[in-house]
Structure 1
Amino acid sequence: MARPHWQNCIAHFDEAVAGFIEEYFGDTDRRCLIVAAAGFDPRSRHVATLLAGSMGERLTGLFVREERGTPDASLVDAADENADALSDVVPLSEIVAVNIFGNDNAPIAGSQIAAIIGGYGIAPDVTDIVLDMTALSIGVGFPAARLLLAHCEEKGIAFHIMIASNPELDDEIASEPGDRPMAVRGFVGPDHSGSTQDVARIWVPLLAKGRSAALDDIGRSVGETYKICPVVPFPSRDPRRADSLIAEYETQLVDEWQVDPRDLVYVSERNPLDCYRILSTLKTRYDQTMADVFTPSIVLSPVGSRVMAAGAWMAAVEHDFPVQYIETVRYDFDPAKAGVVAGPDLIVHLLLSGPAYRELEPAALAESVEPPATSVPE
């Protein structure tokens, strides 16, 4: 399904998000469901609190508690505190547990969240669904977003993505990757087995601080590649963030991945649409340059920034890109650092479907075109 309106979809940033929420969700005819994480991340409450301030009892919630391994006690306490706070902010809410790994340590997050959303009774009077991707893992957030988008498009209601981002805080959260890289549920990509041309894989990993081991494992699982095009944040709040990541990944970039500097991809740290547009352009260019020679297959591996990951999700949905990822076994983070990390949260809002775009649908456009008053002879 083509979604041309995504190229210039409705988006708000920082202070404008609060203004949009007050005006749009302040309408008493609106009923909203928010789906978000209820984990240790100190940003978990931000979006729900903004919405609740304008909606009150017109807001319902489905909050996901990601369960993995044996986390540190401090992280469990922080998650409990956030869960209690979310229940207070959104009284008409439910907190559900999602097991990230099964008994055999195989990743099962995708099937778990799919079952939860599939079995959740979304009220028929809901006019808007907001997915808060702030603290959801990719293995949970990507399938959830796809399922919720499909529901909204089927019912003709509005689907929003919101993110409270803080790049400096992201850098303070360390993670230990699992040992089984795999495609994210719902993002395995097209089947090229019947292609008469060789498949040329273009791997697009999104670089993030401290994630080199995870990307090494993911890269090996992707297999032989035609090119590797790493993504780094620029422009960014820290003007040297891209340089720091390139320095951190120097061994992989130069010795292992043999990346041509011209293949580095620069996307905005605060605007997911920039990542979406650039990845879409990348597909168009490879489709054109490889025509009749290879079948290009762009493989995404978003780690780190949820803002950039949201743009990657849009591109993956629009162009059927496979998403190769590795789940996190455990996190290492001191919640006490949250208050001393420099920089305020960056807030992003995207409106991806709903009545606002109804006039852009092909059928609506065809109905709106009046026949000419006089015929033109051939």
Structure 2
Amino acid sequence: MAEFAQDYFAADKRKILLIAGAGFDPRSTLVAQCLVDSGTALDAVLIKEIRPKPRQNLSELAEGNKSDLEDLLQNSEVIEIEIFGTDNAVVGGRNAVKALHKLNYDDFTDVVVDISALSIGTSFPAIRYLTERIDAGLKPGNLHVFVTHNPSLDNSITHIPSDAPGYIHGFRGGTSLDSSSKAAKLWLPQLVAGRRPALNVLHSYVEPHDTCPIVPFPAANPRQVDILADEYIVELESAWSVDTRNLVYADESNPLDLYRTILNLHELRQRVFQDIGGSLMVLSPLGSKIMAIGALLAAMERNLPVAYLEAIGYDMVIGPIQANAEQKLVHLWLEGDAYPQPRPKLKSNGSANK
């Protein structure tokens, strides 16, 4: 990653806009530090997600990370994003898009979105908005997504779920179309330790005909699938009625693995159900950001709905193993100079869709 940053981002013609989270996550500063070390011309927009009554220890960590980022990034602006409205409705994604729409991108060759310390409900709409700008021929010319991967740290963060399940802003897919009312609905939830209540709420919300849970394999913990199967045994055997042959295995450290798996499953179901009402696949990425990126790419390419239960708060306990675990920087170049220009539209079901 450091080598790529020096070769590409630090080139004389490059000017970078970094969009990153200024949150409690210890990974908040790693991508910014890498870009600064490369010597690139860099401005930054730091998104501070505002939730009601945050834990005091996490507020202090977030404030410390924000100060560190402001010291590191000489040209930075902090934008506060309210995640919940006054009526407790989830508005974070919509607010993030509004804030990004107000920015001036004319001076930048590249935008880097670091989702390491951003929630999925904020990062998904932000990335989709920037992708659609480029599709429309507007600046920025290049869009990059970064995430710092640390499964041990992910497992140490507890999500406190709200009671407002819904579809992420910009990711309703075909759920509102009359043509989807008779479609065979398949739900692909990402199984995550400690998230049973949230996933059961989402199951009731989505009301799928079938469920294919996504589990990490290969994973940092070779026994992670067994651990998850044991935790979710009631859901798998009775509440969701999952055939063990319908588990979806995806590489925990490679977002493209899950992306390709979802696309293959989507194409297969479209052929099978096209004459009997069609197929509707609903994604629910609740865990690893790496696997969430894979779900994001598939959702944008095939216009799939993403059902999500936003966290009303978090808790975190970091032990020495989590704090000292190896951090892996993952980079995806989503749009721009790396692709043929003009970039051909991706095809889905015989029609040109993005």
- Coarse TM-score class (shorter-chain normalised): over 0.9
Per-residue CA deviations over 1:287-322 (Å, capped at 9, x if unaligned) read 111120131000000101000001100000000000
Please say if residues 166 and 343 of structure 1, whose CA atoms lie closer than 8 Å, have aligned partners that are also in contact: yes
Aligned partner of 2:159 in structure 1 is 175
Q: Of 5, 10, 13, which aligns to 1:26? A: 10
Please say if residues 237 and 269 of structure 1, whose CA atoms lie closer than 8 Å, have aligned partners that are also in contact: yes
Q: Of 203, 212, 229, which aligns to 1:219? A: 203
AA partner of residue 52 (structure 1): V
Q: Of 136, 147, 161, which aligns to 2:129? A: 147
Please say if residues 189 and 285 of structure 2, whose CA atoms lie closer than 8 Å, have aligned partners that are also in contact: yes
Measure, in 2, the Cα distance between the counterparts of 1:228 and 1:191: 17
TM superposition shift of 1:55: 3.1
AA partner of residue 258 (structure 1): S
TM superposition shift of 1:337: 3.1
Confirm whether residue 91 of structure 1 aligns to residue 74 of structure 2.
yes
The alignment's TM-score, normalised by the length of structure 1, stands at 0.87
Q: Secondary structure at the match of 1:61?
A: strand
Aligned partner of 1:369 in structure 2 is none
Measure, in 1, the Cα distance between the counterparts of 2:143 and 2:121: 20
Q: Secondary structure at the match of 2:26?
A: coil
TM superposition shift of 1:198: 2.0
Aligned partner of 1:9 in structure 2 is none
Confirm whether residue 101 of structure 1 aligns to residue 75 of structure 2.
no
The alignment's TM-score, normalised by the length of structure 2, stands at 0.93
Q: Of 321, 328, 335, which aligns to 1:346? A: 328
Per-residue CA deviations over 1:200-222 (Å, capped at 9, x if unaligned) read 11000011111111111111100
Aligned partner of 2:147 in structure 1 is 163
TM superposition shift of 1:359: 5.1
Aligned partner of 1:355 in structure 2 is 337
Aligned partner of 1:234 in structure 2 is 217
TM superposition shift of 1:106: 1.2
In our comparison, the structure showing a higher alpha carbon Rg is: 1
With a CA cutoff of 8 Å and minimum separation of 6, indicate the structure with the bigger relative contact order.
1
Aligned partner of 2:351 in structure 1 is none
TM-align CA RMSD: 1.7
TM superposition shift of 1:171: 0.6
Aligned partner of 2:352 in structure 1 is none
Please say if residues 153 and 322 of structure 2, whose CA atoms lie closer than 8 Å, have aligned partners that are also in contact: no
Please say if residues 189 and 213 of structure 2, whose CA atoms lie closer than 8 Å, have aligned partners that are also in contact: yes
Over 3 Å counting, the alpha-carbon distance change for 1:361 and 1:102 in structure 2 is: closer
Confirm whether residue 314 of structure 1 aligns to residue 291 of structure 2.
no
Per-residue CA deviations over 1:92-150 (Å, capped at 9, x if unaligned) read 1111111111111111101111110111222x121111111112111101000101112
Measure, in 1, the Cα distance between the counterparts of 2:214 and 2:225: 9
Aligned partner of 1:126 in structure 2 is 108
Measure, in 2, the Cα distance between the counterparts of 1:263 and 1:226: 13
Aligned partner of 1:10 in structure 2 is none
Aligned partner of 1:7 in structure 2 is none
Q: Secondary structure at the match of 2:179?
A: coil
Measure, in 2, the Cα distance between the counterparts of 1:93 and 1:233: 36
Could you tell me which runs of 5 or more consecutive residues in structure 2 were left unpaired when the two chains were aligned.
346-354
Please say if residues 129 and 152 of structure 1, whose CA atoms lie closer than 8 Å, have aligned partners that are also in contact: no
AA partner of residue 36 (structure 2): A
Aligned partner of 1:327 in structure 2 is 310
Measure, in 2, the Cα distance between the counterparts of 1:165 and 1:338: 17
Aligned partner of 2:31 in structure 1 is 47
TM superposition shift of 1:265: 0.3
TM superposition shift of 1:28: 1.6
Over 3 Å counting, the alpha-carbon distance change for 1:362 and 1:116 in structure 2 is: closer
TM superposition shift of 1:242: 1.7
Over 3 Å counting, the alpha-carbon distance change for 1:67 and 1:191 in structure 2 is: closer
Measure, in 2, the Cα distance between the counterparts of 1:115 and 1:360: 27
Q: How does 1:253-264 map to 2 (within 5 A)?
A: 253-264=236-247
Q: How many residues are aligned here?
A: 343
Per-residue CA deviations over 1:55-104 (Å, capped at 9, x if unaligned) read 35x11111111111111111111000100111111111111111111111
